[in-house]
Structure 1
Amino acid sequence: MGFDPRHWSGGRSEQRVTSNVEALLAENDVLRREVSRLSRELERLQRQQRQRSRQDPSSQRPWGEPSAQPPPRISRQQVQAWGQSLAQQSGWSALRQRGLELLIDQLNRSSFPARLTLEQRLDRLVPGLGTDVLAAVGAKPNKQTTAVLAAFALFGVRAIEWLDEDPRRVVEQLRQRQDRSSSSRQGRRTRSDQRRTDRVGSVHPRDSRMAALRVLGLDANASLVEIKQAHRKLVKQHHPDLGGSAEAFRRVNEAYQALVQ
């Protein structure tokens, strides 16, 4: 039972109505066949995905679902390009890799919350950013890539914009901050050295050996080998080119000369 338009009689318009209805029914049949074909194709693709999942456990995720790991925001090529651009700016030669590393450490220690690593700081700003930046730099950063890290430590997320558009300003800011950081460390070390050590030239001649040994942190029974080892260690620690105190560096050398003469 029910109404079938093909059997409806409507006078002179009967032939026209019947023709239109038959066309619609034919189109409906075509659509049903297309839906059926697409369903079979989807089932075939899902079977293939299940087979690949059994062969490769690492690929076990629903078909068509995007990978859980997004593409990196910062690529190794991008970091290298930034580093090369910085190296072409005036003032680049005044930057030292060790000075930049110390600047990064100082900025990390003064961050809030304190003592976060650079990776943690950037990840707090944009999830995954710090991880991507450190991965792009690699395990052995050079001066150029260290400067890129220092830019992120100083400017945060805005470092991307500054590195792209104004590398000259980045170098200038890094140089100024490096110089201020170095001056601050040198001032602290000089005051500390003055409290802990004696000036070799101000002691009585008979006590000069003991004073020199105290400068090197040794006792009265120190051997020549121990004196040389202590001298090498302190020279590296107090060398002005490495951010040390020039005054402490001079006292260490004077003490060593007094002991080996």
Structure 2
Amino acid sequence: MGFDPRHWSGGRSEQRVTSNVEALLAENDALRREVLRLNSELDRLQRQQRQRFRTETTSHRSWSEPSAQAPPRISSHQVQAWGQSLSQQPGWSVLRQRGLESLIDQLNRSSFPSHLTLEQRLDRLVPGLGTDLRVAVGSKASKQTTAVLAAFAMFGVRASEWLDEDPRRVVEQLRQHQEQFSSKRQGRRTRSDQRRTDRVDFGHPRDPRIAALDVLGLDANASLSEIKQAHRKLVKQHHPDLGGSAEAFRRVNEAYQRLVN
């Protein structure tokens, strides 16, 4: 059954037709074997490419993860250079290491949230920054290294710019903050007496809610939405890390907590 061209002469010699068909069949077999070889080579190359991609992905992941080999954001050499530069500025002799340590503690407690340490606060702003700063400072704190830490507590992530470009201003700001906190400690009893008198207005107790609304710049009929909006605006305005007043930032948060609670 079927037609076999090798058995058809077509008016030509049978030998010539047969030889041509056999050559075509042999060429077809050769092409089939070449296709199989190419497919096998393609499979091998694809396996190599997949393996290389997995290797490169693993290497990239291990590099992007924090490790001891990653370059620190702050080095001990930088901290030493900053401390040396600060010690040469006017007003440096007025600063005291214990006062700077107290200043750092006060600035941390007046920040939000207040329970975070300086290292934790900086790590929240820039991952790894606070940890690198602690390692660069080391375990033996001096007046110079404490002043560098106080600068970061005061200026936040912008402290390195201030230390590099205007160390004179940094010392001046540290001196002013240290004097402010010192005067607050000395006048604590007087301020507490003033707070007690503030609670009395023409013989009537002062409403804590009204006082909190005054801090946020709102009237007595302010809604919860207006309270939240005013709080967000004032927090951005007075945030210490953005150059605002730490004391004002604390008062705004206390007023907000009093109103929402």
TM value normalised by structure 1? 0.49
| Larger RCO, structure (CA 8 Å, separation 6 or more) | 2
